[in-house]
Amino acid sequence: MYRKIIVALALDHGISQTALQIARALRADRGEIIALHAYEPVQGSVRAYLDEEVVESAYKRAQALLAERVAGEPDITPVMLQGHSGRAITDHAAKIGADCIIVGSHKPGLTDFLLGSTAARIVRHAPCAVHVLR
């Protein structure tokens, strides 16, 4: 059983309820579950062509989606980070002393073979156990 579990949520995938159920099953008594979304900011060259209000609106929309995913779940703490998803999640896990990360995975596409998926990066660099969901 784990005391501090991070559930990495990609807000455009429908795996969150299953991941949260698994986190509850793996949680120790008085353990903590953190629903975490890593928001990847728009790259600098693209951002130059976007209005700041559009960028801020996208971030606020992601925050609202995360809050919606955990609404009515008093035992889950939502956390929004900014940065590269794989790195932000593993860095945060190390920072807070998480002992398990639950992350969803999908069937890899061509870009995943070339660049690697977020789940693969988390598995390689996590400072703790990683539970991968298909």
Domains of the chain, CATH where assigned: 2-133 (3.40.50.620)
Tokens of 76: 């889950």
Read off the pLDDT of residues 100-129 as tens digits, 9 standing for 90 and up. 999 988 666 655 454 458 888 999 999 999
Structure tokens at 7: 């559930």
C-alpha distances (whole Å) from 5 to each of 1, 27, 46, 67 are: 10, 7, 35, 18
Query: What pLDDT, in 10s, does the model give residues 74-102?
Result: 999 999 999 999 999 999 999 999 999 99
CA distance 28 to 113: 36
